Chain A
Amino acid sequence: MSNETGMDLLRFATAGSVDDGKSTLIGRLLMDSKSIFEDQMESVQKTSQDKGYDYTDLALLTDGLRSEREQGITIDVAYRYFATPNRKFIIADTPGHVQYTRNMVTGASTADLGLVLVDARNGLTEQSHRHAVILSLLRVPHLVLAVNKMDLVDYSEDVYNEIHQQFTQFATKLNIPDLTVIPISALQGDNVVDRSENMDWYSGPTLLHHLEHVHVASDRDLIDARLPVQYVVRPKSDEHHDYRGYAGQIAGGVMKPGDEVIVLPSGMTSKIQAIDLFDKEIDEAFPPMSVTVRLEDDVDVSRGDMIARVNNAPEPSQDIDAMVCWMAPGKLQPRQKLAIKHTTRTGRALVKDIQYKMDINTLHRDQDADELALNEIGRIKLRTTVPLLCDPYSRNRDTGSFILIDEATGVTVAAGMIND
């Protein structure tokens, strides 16, 4: 088979504007990994020519909607795919402007790695700070700062060192467990896929080499066993008359048959009888596997419940302290009532208090803020109708995150991350 064994998956988010060379960089990764096809390239060349451009605009490969092509901007999250023999990659490509913070948050929510691009001529800008802040807020475990357009600063080591140092200093204020800074030229290809001959002073990895080898298996919480129950499997057939399975995606820890477990919020305890993966019983399950767990006792379990270990379970709570990104045209204000979805559990939430609004360019906390507008981020307190079975987001991105939904329109209006 071509890639079944040993090939894993890396999701990375990249934010930035066309001016940073983001489209050129993505175009190059796709081209050099042979993920762009002849007919796509031809269509881009033809369109560039028809529009009277002097060059083939690689941004056309990635700007998908007619309105974007007309305006020459990217207005939403787009997902792109490429693969090398070692790894498959999913890129969440988002526009970098402040009015698109919500899209950046969306792209970063599932990312293992964040890629921040800066133009070597301009150094760090408000936009690069903002991207780093969002990636750290969303607890993206790995961050790469790509110092682009090195060809336009004569491949100067001093320029690179200056930006490297400034960024490292800024990063001390953030939670960035793993930072890598790489000098590149997306246009010329230096240090993207092939090592640069123009920067022999740089001894680190090329961008693609780093993306291929960054270690992500241990980024998930493998200590605290968590299974949010999604669906109860009860076949209505003679053959499986007594089968009762609790299906869901493991959100944390390692579960094995024989484990003593507790079902929340009821607090009933039992043992794992078997873990089914389709038609096989397996020895252990870990994130992000989708499995079906059977218990030894006939306890009452339904969707929205959580199966955890007896001595390591989340504390059910109706008072939630969280960072939220507001994503809707209206305002988030105290006393507002919204629907909340956390893991497989749905309820209603009342906004008790807005503690502060965060300026994502400077990290300044505005304690006087009494509302959040579109694309703003702040710390709030919620009271929920149902107890949530949650962990701090810093510990587990699956059991620490939630969304808020406007009950009248049905639209997702906020992304939330539960505080420690």
Chain B
Amino acid sequence: MTKTHSDYRLSQLDQLEAESIHIFREVAAEFEKPVLMFSGGKDSIVMMRLAEKAFYPARIPFPVLQVDTGYDFPEVLATRDNWVDRLGVRLIVASVEQAIKDGIVVDDGKTPRNRLQIGTLLHVLEEEGFTAAFGGGRRDEEKARAKERVFSHRDEFGQWDPKNQRPELWNLYNGRLHEGEHMRIFPISNWTELDIWDYIGREGIEIPSIYYSHQRRVFERDGMLLSESEYNPCREGETVQERTVRFRTVGDLTLTGCVESEADTIDKIVEEVAASRITERGATRGDDRFSEAAMEDRKKEGYF
């Protein structure tokens, strides 16, 4: 049997995977000190999986960094620890709490922890001398991200200048840096939310249990369903109810809302995502709602 051209075709998920693995290897080869930013969410778990595949049977040749807001879901931290143990990588936890104590960032009581992560992250990158930080940002998430490069250059203040981005051609990435600068690397830029779910299903990998439908005590605030917790006390007029929910994104639990859902398997989640008419951030991330340009502003300051 001779094969025709049409037989040499990769499914789109295989193509995305091949492209992302290429990026991981390129960075490992070109940068002195890379680090993988890990939030424990579904995107960073897919990143872990891709890094695992890129260097197999060797271990991932860089450590993993988590910026701990102090308000993380315990289910997410448990999944993080399982992955770190299985892959045998070094985990660095940079705590926002500690950064506040050390006077690196200022907690004025009004700024969400998510925002305080920026200073905490930049400090740890500088302290450890990391020259490349992998992030799980996707271009389909938000308008400002649609213009993000795979190799995203940050100046010595960690800032992103959208008007001064390097052109990115073919699959040739330019990793040149000056002293004090670093690069954010986005290997899953071209993946969509649905691709992420498909991949998690196909690979059969562990993600935090809060992505699946479960019973939770929640209350409504600003049109979002938030989780009851000691960090997030109810205000006047808010009532706590037991509901069947799941999370579409995970982050700071004081800001991350959940949606009512019966989807308790990957297949059901994929079905729900495919049919959903509200973007994942729009539905459940209070931190993107401040202004039309909220994400752009945070990115310029050095956000993920």
Do A and B form a real pair?
Answer: yes
**Interface set of A (CB-CB < 8 Å, partner B):** 1-9, 37-40, 43, 47, 61-67, 69, 75-81, 83, 87-88, 90, 102-103, 105-106, 109-110, 215, 217-218, 220, 222, 230-231, 233-237, 239-240, 243, 247-249, 254, 276, 278-279, 286-290, 292, 303, 327, 339, 341-344, 397-398, 401-403, 405, 410-412, 415
Q: In the bound complex, do residue A81 and residue B192 qualify as a contact, i.e. CB atoms below 8 Å apart?
A: yes
B57 and A4 form a contact (CB under 8 A): no
Q: Mark B166-191, 1 if CB is under 8 A from A, else 0.
A: 11111110101110000000000110
A1 and B268 CA atoms in complex are apart in Å by 10
**Other-chain residue from A4, A222, A248, A341 in contact with B8 (beta carbon distance below 8 A):** A222
Q: Are A403 and B292 in contact (CB under 8 A)?
A: no
Whether B18 contacts A288 by the Cβ 8 Å rule is yes
Assess whether B9 is interfacial by the CB under 8 Å rule: yes
B residues sitting closer than 8 Å to A (CB atoms) are 5-6, 8-19, 21-22, 25-26, 28-29, 52-59, 139-140, 143-147, 162-163, 165-172, 174, 176-178, 189-190, 192, 194-195, 197-198, 201-202, 267, 270-271, 274, 276-279, 282-283, 292-293, 296
Report the Cα distance A254→B16, complex, angstroms: 19
Assembled-state Cα–Cα distance A2/B178 (Å): 45
* CB atoms of B270 and A248 under 8 A apart: no
Roughly how many angstroms separate A297 CA and B133 CA in the complex, as a whole number? Answer: 36
Residues in chain B near residue A401, CB distance under 8 A: 169-170, 172
Q: Is the CB of B11 within 8 A of A1?
A: no
**CB-CB nearest 9 A-B residue pairs:** A39-B282, A410-B176, A64-B143, A218-B5, A235-B58, A9-B12, A290-B21, A290-B18, A217-B9
8 chain-A/chain-B pairs, Cβ below 8 angstroms? A1-B267, A6-B11, A65-B144, A79-B147, A80-B140, A222-B5, A240-B57, A411-B176
* Chain B residue contacts of A61, Cβ below 8 A: 143
Known A231-B28, A235-B58, A401-B172; 13 more pairs at CB < 8 Å = A9-B16, A39-B278, A64-B147, A79-B147, A247-B54, A248-B22, A248-B25, A279-B56, A287-B8, A289-B14, A290-B54, A342-B172, A397-B170
Contacts A2-B270, A37-B279 given; indicate if A76 touches B165 (C-beta within 8 A). Answer: yes
Asked whether, in the complex, the Cβ of B282 is within 8 Å of the Cβ of A79, the reply is no
Chain B binding site: helix, strand, loop or mixed by DSSP? helix
Chain B minimum-CB-distance residue to A249:
B22
In the complex, are the beta carbons of A1 and B202 less than 8 A apart? yes
**Residue from A64, A69, A303, A327 in contact with B167 in the complex, judged by beta carbons closer than 8 Å:** A327
| Contact across chains for A39 and B170 when beta carbons are under 8 A apart | no
B8's nearest neighbour on chain A, judged by CB, is A286
Complex Cα gap A76–B57 (Å)? 40
Q: Bound complex: CA of A78 vs CA of B278, how far in Å?
A: 21
Q: Which residues of A contact B147 (CB under 8 A)?
A: 64-65, 76-79
Q: Give every chain A residue within 8 A of B202 (Cβ-Cβ).
A: 1, 4
**A7 contact set on B, CB distance < 8 A:** 11-13
A78 to B283, CA, bound (A): 23
Q: A290-B18, A403-B169, A403-B172 are in contact. Are A47 and B292 (CB under 8 A)?
A: yes
**Residue among A109, A397, A412 with max Cβ neighbours from chain B (10 Å):** A412
Which B residue sits closest to A216, measured CB to CB?
B9
Q: How far is the CA of A332 from the CA of B282 in the complex (A)?
A: 45
> Residues of A contacting B6 with CB < 8 Å?
215, 217-218
Residues A236 and B58 in contact, CB atoms below 8 Å apart: yes
Given the complex of chains A and B, what is the CA–CA distance between A63 and B144 in angstroms? 9
Is there contact, CB below 8 Å, between A415 and B15? no
Assess A8 versus B10: contact at CB under 8 Å? Given A81-B192, A231-B28, A235-B57: yes
A81 with B139: CB separation less than 8 A? yes
CA distance A287 to B8 in the complex (A): 8
